[in-house]
Amino acid sequence: MRKQKKHTSLLIGLILLGMNAFSQDPDFHIYLCFGQSNMEGAGAIETVDKTVDPRFKVMEAVDCSNLGRTKGKWYTAVPPLTRCYSGLSPVDYFGRTMIANLPTSVKVGVINVSVGGCKIELFDKVNYQTYVSTITADWLKNIIAEYSGNPYARLVEMAKLAQKDGVIKGILLHQGESNTGDSQWPTKVKGVYNNLITDLALDPTKVPLLAGEVVHADQGGVCASMNTIIAKLPQSLPNSYVISSSKCTDQADNLHFNSAGYREIGKRYANKMLSLMGIIPTGIPEILSAVSDGFRLEQNYPNPFNGKTNISFEIPSAEHVSLKVYNILGKEMAELAGREYSQGVHSIEFDPGNLKGGIYFCWLKAGRFSASQKMVIQD
């Protein structure tokens, strides 16, 4: 009997040890990153970029013998963070900025699966092979091959491993140059997002998507016209936010940011994520997705709220303004404005009436500008 008890105790101990080995750490915040060349990283990695807080981690998505890294393992996030020979990307300074503003008990981990030159169709879970069959460029085929021919599946594979260690808090996207002029891009991005949410059993109310603009017109961006389509993403996917690339410097090709531009837009991704967490960044200019070229949508105040709240916006010239409230599923719940407003700052009072407590989004459209802010109604 004593021997049996000893074996039982040993078995229980092994089970508990196994459970502990795969327990999630709520203070390990994980972000999934995907897209094309600008998310992949085309910036020169300089000396200043090589000193990294060990609280900022990257899970390698491919085997990189030159870096001493193995697929599926965590490492201190010294660039490159995508593949073995990629460059500086927005992810680098997203993670550094997050770490600089979060409690010292919190770690940040990133997984970056990006393919230069690809269309968003490459991340279509169901139809990606149809798109891949049209690719003729060997260099693009070779990049896709590094992800065993299916970058979306690799991202999910790595994310499931990461979920054993921490909690997925958000998704970062930078893609659009290869889809320039594609009015269906927001709907296609929504499809990828929904598949990730389903495949990883995530709560969409807790996992926002942050999408960056391509190189801006103020830098002579070759694909800058795509930013008007990217701006419409929150209309298709309310839990998404567009990160402005205005004044983010670029390279001579006017397609890729330079190192300084990557650092800046990376900080902007982090600023937005921190603001969604209710954290005001310190030591970093706050440039949110709801600001662009004189247009601005302010965060409603108060927020959260259980009575009335005020929503302010600014427009640089007279424009027809649409301001609507959507629930987390994208259903329109209220129209607050639908007429022409004069140049300047305007404020609209919103009374939620009989709306249930939860997360909602106010979405502003004025001319070519659109933006959204998350609102929380308390019961």
With the C-alpha atoms ordered 91, 93, 97, 99, is the resulting torsion angle positive or negative? positive
Cα–Cα distance measured from residue 174 to residue 243, given in angstroms and rounded to the nearest whole number: 9
Q: Give catalytic residue positions.
A: 37, 253, 256
Instruction: Please state, in angstroms and rounded to a whole number, the distance separating the CA atoms of residues 36 and 255.
Output: 11
Closest Cα partner for 36 from 248, 185, 200? 185
- CA dist 238 and 363 (Å) reads 8
Instruction: For the chain, give the number of residues.
Output: 379
DSSP letters, 161-178, are HHTTTSEEEEEEEE--GG
End-to-end CA, the chain: 57
Q: How far apart are CA 211 and CA 289, in angstroms?
A: 9
Distance (Å, whole) CA 314 – CA 369: 11
